[in-house]
Chains A and B, each alone.
Chain A
Amino acid sequence: MDGKVSTVTKTVYVSSNGRAVTVFRRPDFYYALTNPKGELKLYFPSSNEVFSRTDPALASGEELLMLFLLGRASDLGLSNFGYKGSVSVREEGFIKRTFTSPEAARPTVEIVYDNYLPIYCCYTDPSGRVLSKKYFSHYIRESRFVFPGRVDDITYNAHKKDSTVVRTLYSNLQIDSSAPEFDFEIPAGAKPVQIDPTTLK
């Protein structure tokens, strides 16, 4: 079994008005701008192209950093997608809640908390098979909020008896920074990316 690894490096700039600018640096350099309305723009400086999309799921409020900033990390944003949480139960010294969606096809989600901070999240399909597990650790504590410095995400592939592991490491968390990226705007001359699904038929 040969493992493959891909590394993505990004910096997230979140403003108090909910505007988020994410600068992806590896493996490709591009900007992602979002706002609470779910208006997303992806700008690729190398080709001066911009891709636009509006979708509630893409709202800046769904970014992990924003969830913790706004104090909505208790359900990791699941309530925005119609999930309802069960009564909390205590297990092995932790608190556990189960979240279910009114749509039967969607996975069931279990979140485990330590001192009210999520440390574990498990997705299970309707048949009971574990689809993925996420672990939140190394919480960074600032004066106004806390944020996980490390997120490990393991997605299980039942057919190939293999898995995909995503390790996300957050660092250099700054509050009240004055970086110019907060005010980044896409150049006026950027070319909109055309979407033509007919070419794929």
Chain B
Amino acid sequence: MKKLIVTIVALLSMAAFASAANYTVNEEAVDALIENSAAITSVDVCAQAVATSSSTAVAAKAIQPVVALILDFFLGGFGVHRHYMGTSKAMWALYTFTLGGIFGIVPLVDLIMLIIGTVNDDISRYIGNTSFFMWA
């Protein structure tokens, strides 16, 4: 029952984010969504991503571009996709510090570059990339 209520609130929130005035947000919907979500820590998420990439590096696995894309979609603001592809230890802190990569610009451009790389079947330049701007 609780799950159903949370789902309804989340769905209503998603639909109601933009109020009649297109340039203001429905604050009550955003607050309700956050209040009804399960708490995690960004460190936990990044730790899992780093552990995954470390454990598979020994087997010389190929980084999955689609996985990197999905991680960027969900958690790009924390730089999780960068840790999956391999980067410096503190990259998550950089993304968080810059408010999700300079107001979200960096993970958005990361996403576009990953899409282009996936289409061209080559994201090698982003793997193990320690630059904040991985496409530079």
A: residues with CB less than 8 A from B are 1-8, 22, 24, 27-28, 30, 32, 40, 42, 51, 53, 55, 57-58, 62, 64, 76-77, 81, 92, 94, 105-107, 112, 114, 119-121, 123, 125-126, 131-135, 137, 150, 152-155, 157, 159-160, 162-168, 193, 195, 197-201
Contacts and interface: CB of A to CB of B under 8 A. Distances in A.
Contact of B37 (A5, A42, A55, A132): A5
B34 A167 contact: yes
21 contacts: A1-B6, A2-B3, A6-B42, A24-B93, A28-B93, A32-B97, A40-B97, A42-B93, A64-B103, A77-B102, A92-B23, A105-B109, A134-B103, A135-B25, A137-B27, A154-B17, A195-B89, A197-B86, A197-B88, A197-B130, A200-B54
Contact of A51 (B31, B93, B111): B93
Contacts of A132: 104, 108
A123 B103 CA distance: 10
B34 A6 contact: no
Given A42-B90, A53-B132, A152 B27 contact: yes
A195 to B, nearest CB: 5
Interface in B37-63: 37-45, 53-54, 57, 60
B119 interface: no
Contact of B105 (A22, A42, A123, A159): A123
B57 A199 contact: yes
A8 B23 contact: no
B67 interface: no
Given A28-B43, A105-B116, A119-B24, A157 B73 contact: yes
Given A42-B97, A119-B24, A195-B88, A2 B6 contact: yes
- State the majority secondary structure of interface residues on B: helix
Contacts of B102: 57, 62, 77
Given A55-B132, A120-B24, A3 B38 contact: yes
Given A119-B24, A199-B57, A159 B94 contact: no
Interface size, B (range): 35 or more
Contacts of A165: 17, 30, 33-34
Interface of B: 3, 6-7, 10-11, 14, 17-18, 21-25, 27, 30-31, 33-34, 36-45, 53-54, 57, 60, 69-70, 73-78, 86-90, 93-94, 96-100, 102-109, 111-113, 116, 127-133
A55 B21 CA distance: 38
Nearest to A112: B23
A137 B33 contact: no
Contacts of A135: 23-25
Given A5-B40, A6-B41, A51 B75 contact: no
Given A42-B94, A62-B98, A166-B77, A4 B38 contact: yes
A3 B9 CA distance: 10
A164 B90 CA distance: 22
A137 B90 contact: no
Contact of B128 (A114, A119, A200): A200
A30 to B, nearest CB: 7
